[in-house]
Amino acid sequence: MTDRRGFLTAAVGTAGAALLPSISKAQEPFTLEKLPYAFDALEPHIDAKTMEIHWGRHHKAYVDNLNKALAGKEDLASKSIERLMIDVNSVPAAIRGSVINNGGGHYNHSVFWSLMKKDGGGEPTGATAKAIDQAFGSYAKFQEKLSTAAMTRFGSGWSWLVVNQMGMLDVVSFPNQDCPLSAGLKPVMGVDVWEHAYYLKYQNKRADYLKAWFNTLNWEVIGDRLAQATRKD
Ligand code: MN
């Protein structure tokens, strides 16, 4: 049931905290971080109401349900969200589905918010532009590839720019909240194409939402993520 070794490792890593367990920490190991901008910062591309509901209700529900699934499982609850999703196959079968959905939901959305900013968009520059050009031919071709992956994702899911196991840039799409980390990929940037991400403003026009989303991108953050994902270590 409980991975004893994992638990002991975690306890050593949080020395004092292990001796003085905090009740709130034990009940809420993962938290909903504040958005790095106001709800209306991404207007007119993504409307304030969508951001408020998407972050405050949808993302919050993933965090709350992840914490519920991990209640009493200190070895898992003490992991970082990244480590939890990378090692998701070692999660006990009884709660694995919940961790895939809610842990994935928490991680994916945390990344998603960070990729956008007020007055974002434009084209990448420097090393980011070079890497995208080398992998896809041009930024326009990359946009087309990411958009096609997003458009052809039937139902709910995400499209991602990832660095794969061979260290190459690639575009992939996953259903639901399946996390690229769990597939051994390093996610650089991704777009949420669940209807909750766009329905209030765009209704069924996913293509219009995607086109607008590119105008919100924070290339400083994406460049940093790309550099990290391609770093040889
Ligand atoms: Mn979402």
Sign, CA dihedral 184-188-193-199, equals: positive
| Pairing of β 157-163 and β 186-192 | antiparallel
What CATH number is associated with residue 225? Answer: 3.55.40.20
CA of 213 to the centre of ligand 1 (A): 13
Q: Taking residues 187-210, report their average pLDDT.
A: 97
CA of 108 to the centre of ligand 1 (A): 8
Query: Worst-scoring range by mean pLDDT, 46-60, 139-153, 219-233?
Result: 219-233
Q: Taking residues 133-146, report their average pLDDT.
A: 98
Q: Taking residues 81-91, report their average pLDDT.
A: 97
CA of 105 to the centre of ligand 1 (A): 7
pLDDT digits (tens, 9 = 90+) for 209-218: 999 999 999 9
Residue 33 in any domain: the answer is no
CA of 157 to the centre of ligand 1 (A): 9
Residue 226 in any domain: the answer is yes
Buried residues in 43-73 as b, exposed as e (16+ CB within 10 A): eebbbeebbebbbeeebbebbebbbebbeeb
Q: Would you tell me how many other CB atoms lie within 10 Å of the CB of residue 35?
A: 18
Work out how many domains the chain is built from and give that number: 1
pLDDT at 1 over 90: no
For ligand 1, a single-atom ion, the residues with CB < 5 A are: 192, 194, 197
Residue 151 in any domain: the answer is yes
Q: What percent of the chain has pLDDT over 70?
A: 88
Query: Worst-scoring range by mean pLDDT, 24-33, 160-169, 170-179, 217-226?
Result: 24-33
42's tokens: 């991404």
pLDDT of res. 4 = 33
pLDDT of res. 18 = 42
Question: Rounded to whole angstroms, how far apart are CA atoms 30 and 64?
Answer: 8
Domain that holds residue 186: 126-230
pLDDT at 23 over 80: no
CA of 13 to the centre of ligand 1 (A): 32
Q: Taking residues 93-120, report their average pLDDT.
A: 98
19 residue type, one letter: L
179's tokens: 């996390």
Which helix H or strand E contains 133, and what residues bound it?
helix 126-136
CA of 122 to the centre of ligand 1 (A): 23
pLDDT of res. 216 = 98
Residue 200 in any domain: the answer is yes
CA of 181 to the centre of ligand 1 (A): 17
The pTM of the full predicted model, rounded to 2 decimals, is 0.88
CA of 77 to the centre of ligand 1 (A): 22
Residue 51 in any domain: the answer is no
State the average pLDDT for the chain. Answer: 90
pLDDT of res. 232 = 78
Q: How far apart are the first and last CA of the chain?
A: 33
Residue 206 in any domain: the answer is yes
CA of 132 to the centre of ligand 1 (A): 25
